[in-house]
Amino acid sequence: MAKTDIGPPDYKTMLPPVISRNYGKWLYHEILKPGVLMHIAESGEALYTVRAGSPRLISTDHIREICDLAEKYCDGYLRFTSRHNIEFLLDDKNKVDPLIAELTSLNYPVGGTGHAISNIVHTQGWVHCHTPATDASGPVKALMDEIYDYFVTMKLPNHVRIALACCLNMCGAVHCSDIAILGIHRTVPKTDNTRVPNVCEIPSTVASCPTGAIRGDMKAKTVTVNDEKCMYCGNCYTVCPAMPIADPDNDGISIWVGGKVSNARSAPKFSKLAIPFLPNNPPRWPEVVEAVKNIIEVYASHARKHERVGEWIERVGWERFFTLTGIPFTDKHIDDYDMATETFRTSTQFKWG
Amino acid sequence: MAKSKTPLLDELEKGKWPSFVKDIKQAAQKSPMAEDLLQQLELSYKDKIGHWKHGGIVGVKGYGSGVIGRYSDRPDLFPNVQAFHTLRVNHPTGWFYKTDALRKLCDVWDKHGSGLTNMHGSTGDAILLGTKTEHLQPCFDDLSAAGFDLGGSGSALRTPSACVGPGRCEWACIDSLDVCYNLTMEFQDKIHRPMFPYKFKIKVSACPNDCVASIARSDFSIIGTWKGKILINPAEVTIYAGSDLDIQKEVCDLCPTKCMEWDGKTLKIHDGDCNRCMHCINLMPKALRPGKEKGATILVGGKAPIVQGALLSWVVVPFMKLEPPYAELKDLIERIQDWWDENGKSRERLGELIKRVGMRVFLKAVGLPAVPQMVKAPRSNPYVFFWPEEIQKEVK
Ligand code: HEM
Ligand code: HEM
Ligand code: HEM
Ligand code: HEM
Ligand code: SF4
Ligand code: SF4
Ligand code: SF4
Ligand code: SF4
């Protein structure tokens, strides 16, 4: 019988000796070049971090290749970042360039530091989830191919965080990203009245709907959806397989901009709607790639140094954002959903008194 | 040469960014499950819809979470992914690994699953992507023997995560790794056995840069901060002044509280006005450091949009010292969870519950005093409620 509740391995056993020795005693850091950080400790010791991109969905053999590299260059110590990057942790400066050379020869992008576009946080999409309105890995790959140069350089006004979630459940919590790519359904689930009685339990189906849009029809042993209340979340399909929400022609992608998480300068903020709908066009989603590239380019050429996308837009004004990017403003951009709690302090910015 | 069975996905092998399609194909060499995943995904690319469905709770003995059940809606075409469940494996805090541990994980997964992973999922866990129902328990047994455990899913405490903090960052005001690991170990039961109204997430960032996005992605956000003066090293300021950094324009002018003064020689900060946004420290790491009295700001309520719109976490404890064994912190988490557990409706996140009943009720229930740091501004509507004991009783 396997032991339960042992918890994850103790991170202290995973730290490279240079980190164990200087834990909590770091003095400053420098970005030596794109993808390379140098942290200097009070002891004078240095830690070199080499950051490389990954597609997130990786095979065990790919992980073993990463292990080989870590063993060859940094005694087997590495970490992953919350944005799915791989970081090699070195204590020997002389090994940095040979590592980068080998990474480059194996087609790993090295970068994602400083004023760059780091890896795109994303979710499962068609690879593993049951309610996606679009794929996740595919649009990410197509977009990263096109903006690759911004990953391996640091030439933007500030860093640009991009995230993708494949439905409005937003597992990737994309709602505070500089640019968020969000899959949306636009049509109500298609209830198959002949199958509902056999495969679905009516009370739990009714209860699954967050907006109360589903009514049980006990006589016909099926359910009806109030189209006006449905906001296309797909929860009902989770409980009732006879209510598929996917719609190949009407599912697609929306683009949101100007969110941030860090408290630097301005408070954290939500991303706001820029483009309500773009079609799903696999395998390379050209409309989505073009739209995101356009926003990045306009930001790159108009924002002041250190301005995040949202800070730039707030300085110039949203009306100018739409003019500069050429994105049409529509009635969809005007909020008509309930949003309150505006007076809560959603930041760590306050005075002690 | 035989025509490719995956012409659409093949397109995604082109281009400079590493391709997930190559990884799926690599795994497919060894695993029929990965091969069928590839073929089903190609069909999704053709049909422009997903081909997975929900159905049937699966898991491992003794746990109610850690496994996401998944079934193909075309088992006729793709029998090897008829069931394709994922395991969420709790990552070592900070996502630090020694390769021997990673290799063990790979060996277990090659033995029991598709050979495909997410390093890492957006929950923070290492995701072992796809296996059959009968492999779940043996896979868990081998994971456990290799020193790994499952993370949270469903209406449970989710795997807590932390920024790299003192492991590598000079700005860490708290030991984010230790806090996270300590809470993870303390709350194993809450992670593995869902018993809450809904999910509950804890994330720890060691300074207001908030590199794990705890303010946006957790119900209980712990963010390092400090009291007192930002430490200034004048010699380093002088060196920055001689570099291509324009201290006036790039640092002082962008300070949100305009509390910095620079006369070309000396940098002055009026710390009483500083809101600790980190901007100046970010730009001049050698010259400026967070103040000496360190601790954390605790914020609650953050969540993604479902059901009532997205919320960012808001302040409930402006400053808490965080030192092992973190008794005050754990006590607060327990009080908050108990109150939520008792009062929350099914699938109501903490933030939504507070929104429904009001901060006044929340604060009283968990025993926290109201302080001005909690709000951007006092209320402007006049619909003020008082407690019964605050009302003058009728004098008979
Ligand atoms: C009201 C109806 C339901 C809703 C809203 C719902 C929602 C969810 C959600 C949000 C998750 C994701 C958990 C996560 O984020 O990790 C999930 C997972 C799951 N659900 Fe459901 N679900 C419902 C009913 C059901 C039913 C009826 C079954 C099975 C018969 C089921 C089986 C599962 C399984 C196996 C998982 C993955 C394991 C887990 O995360 O615990 N669900 N469900
Ligand atoms: C009704 C609402 C929701 C439903 C039905 C739902 C359902 C699911 C399901 C089924 C998965 C597993 C995907 C897979 O591996 O197949 C998942 C993953 C996940 N969910 Fe949700 N979810 C909901 C809301 C949320 C919310 C509000 C959040 C965050 C605040 C969230 C965060 C996550 C994360 C981080 C993952 C892992 C994603 C990844 O790494 O790919 N979910 N969810
Ligand atoms: C040496 C280490 C690091 C340094 C110097 C650093 C620096 C910074 C700075 C200066 C910001 C605020 C940027 C701004 O808004 O002006 C920031 C934000 C952030 N960092 Fe880091 N960081 C470090 C490590 C990390 C790591 C390891 C991760 C994750 C893997 C990370 C993820 C983030 C995220 C997600 C944000 C918030 C982005 C947002 O506002 O949306 N950082 N970091
Ligand atoms: C419970 C809440 C409120 C009560 C009991 C209340 C009561 C009153 C009363 C008695 C008057 C004077 C009417 C008159 O002399 O003809 C008045 C005027 C007014 N109230 Fe309110 N009020 C309330 C809330 C508000 C709010 C929330 C607003 C605006 C946001 C507002 C805006 C005004 C304005 C603009 C006037 C006209 C002032 C003027 O003509 O000089 N009131 N209110
Ligand atoms: S965002 Fe939606 S479709 Fe994507 S993994 Fe989460 S629940 Fe599934
Ligand atoms: S898709 Fe969501 S909102 Fe629409 S009926 Fe189903 S559960 Fe309700
Ligand atoms: S949150 Fe602060 S302390 Fe933690 S890694 Fe980011 S910058 Fe460093
Ligand atoms: S931390 Fe922010 S508010 Fe404080 S002095 Fe620096 S720039 Fe100004």
Compute, in angstroms, the gap from residue B317 CA to the centroid of ligand 6: 37
What is the per-residue pLDDT across A103-152, written as a single tens digit (0 to 9) for each?
Answer: 999 999 999 999 999 999 999 999 999 899 999 999 999 999 999 999 99
Probe residue for ligand 3, chosen from B95, B177, B209, B289 as the CB with the greatest number of ligand atoms within 8 Å: B209
Q: Percent of chain B at pLDDT above 90? A: 87
Q: Do B110 and A60 touch (CB under 8 A)?
A: yes
What is the per-residue pLDDT across B363-395, written as a single tens digit (0 to 9) for each?
Answer: 999 999 999 999 988 887 778 888 999 988 876
Can you tell me which residue has the tokens 């576009």?
Answer: A117
Q: Do B297 and A348 touch (CB under 8 A)?
A: yes
Could you tell me the maximum CA-CA distance found in chain A, to the nearest angstrom?
78
What is the per-residue pLDDT across B126-176, written as a single tens digit (0 to 9) for each?
Answer: 999 999 999 999 999 999 999 999 999 989 999 999 999 999 999 999 999
Show the DSSP H helices in A106-229 as ranges: 137-152, 196-199, 202-208
Which of B122, B286, B310 is closest, CB to CB, to A172? B122
pTM value? Answer: 0.83
pLDDT band at B306 (very low <50, low <70, confident <90, very high): low
CB A63 within 8 A of CB B109: no
Q: What is the CB-side half-sphere exposure of residue B169 using CA atoms within 13 A?
A: 23
Compute, in angstroms, the gap from residue B381 CA to the centroid of ligand 4: 11
Residue A327 reports pLDDT greater than 90: yes
pLDDT attached to residue B198: 92
Cα gap A351→B374, rounded to integer Å: 11
Residue with CA closest to ligand 1 atom 32 = B57
Residue A337 reports pLDDT greater than 80: no
Cα gap A258→B86, rounded to integer Å: 33
Which of B17, B208, B347 is closest, CB to CB, to A141? B17
Tell me which of A348 and B211 has the higher pLDDT. Answer: B211
Q: Is B68 in the pocket of ligand 1 (CB under 6 A)?
A: yes
pLDDT band at B192 (very low <50, low <70, confident <90, very high): very high
Give the position, in ligand 6's atom list, of the atom nearest the Cα of A225: 5
Which of A61, A168, A265 is closest, CB to CB, to B305? A168
Residue B307 reports pLDDT greater than 80: no
What is the per-residue pLDDT across B311-350, written as a single tens digit (0 to 9) for each?
Answer: 889 999 999 999 999 999 999 999 999 999 999 998 889 9
From the CA of B168, the nearest ligand is 3
Q: What is the CB-side half-sphere exposure of residue B264 using CA atoms within 13 A?
A: 0
What is the per-residue pLDDT across B242-282, written as a single tens digit (0 to 9) for each?
Answer: 999 999 999 999 999 999 999 999 999 999 999 999 999 99
Q: How many CB atoms lie within 10 A of CB A279?
A: 15
pLDDT attached to residue A331: 82
Q: Which residues of B touch A63 (CB under 8 A)?
A: 102, 105-106, 117, 119
CA-wise closest residue to A55 among A154, A133, A139, A114: A139
Give the gap in angstroms from C-alpha A115 to the nearest C-alpha of chain B: 12
Residue B320 touches partner A, C-beta closer than 8 Å: no
From the CA of A160, the nearest ligand is 3
**How much is the mean pLDDT over chain A?**
92
DSSP, collapsed to helix, strand or coil, labels residue A308 as coil
Q: Percent of chain A at pLDDT above 90? A: 78
Strand order in the sheet with A179-184: A162-165, A179-184, A252-257, A272-279
Q: Do A78 and B97 touch (CB under 8 A)?
A: yes
β-bridge partners, B375: A344
Compute, in angstroms, the gap from residue A322 CA to the centroid of ligand 2: 32
Tokens of A250: 């009407």
Cα gap A96→B184, rounded to integer Å: 34
Q: Are strands A179-184 and A162-165 parallel, antiparallel or unpaired?
A: parallel
pLDDT attached to residue B175: 98
Q: Percent of chain A at pLDDT above 70? A: 95
Can you tell me which residue has the tokens 């359910």?
Answer: A223
Residue A339 reports pLDDT greater than 60: no
CB B150 within 8 A of CB B192: yes
pLDDT attached to residue B138: 97
Give the position, in ligand 6's atom list, of the atom nearest the Cα of A231: 3
* Gap between the terminal Cα atoms of chain A: 57
CB B213 within 8 A of CB A170: no
What is the per-residue pLDDT across A225-279, written as a single tens digit (0 to 9) for each?
Answer: 999 999 898 889 988 989 999 999 999 999 999 999 999 999 998 899 999 999 9
Residue B370 touches partner A, C-beta closer than 8 Å: no
pLDDT band at A345 (very low <50, low <70, confident <90, very high): low
Give the gap in angstroms from C-alpha A113 to the nearest C-alpha of chain B: 13
Tokens of B167: 């492991």
Probe residue for ligand 2, chosen from A124, A131, A135, A169 as the CB with the greatest number of ligand atoms within 8 Å: A169
Q: Is B382 in the pocket of ligand 4 (CB under 6 A)?
A: yes
Vertex B288, ends B286 and B289: CA angle to 5°? 100
Phi, psi for residue B343 in degrees, rounded to 5 = -105, -20
Surface of B (15-74) touching A: CB under 8 A: 15-21, 23-24, 26-27, 34, 37, 41, 44-45, 47-55, 61-63, 68, 70, 73
Compute, in angstroms, the gap from residue A336 CA to the centroid of ligand 4: 26
Compute, in angstroms, the gap from residue A209 CA to the centroid of ligand 6: 5
Over residues B53-57, the mean pLDDT reads: 76
**How much is the mean pLDDT over chain B?**
94
Cα gap B200→A269, rounded to integer Å: 22
Cα gap B49→B70, rounded to integer Å: 16
CB A42 within 8 A of CB B286: no
Buried b (16+ CB within 10 A) or exposed e, A60-92: bbbbbebbebbbebbbbbbbbbbbbbbbbbbbe
Compute, in angstroms, the gap from residue A69 CA to the centroid of ligand 3: 25
pLDDT band at A340 (very low <50, low <70, confident <90, very high): very low
CA-wise closest residue to B111 among B83, B146, B82: B146
Q: Which residues of A touch B120 (CB under 8 A)?
A: 56, 80, 82, 84
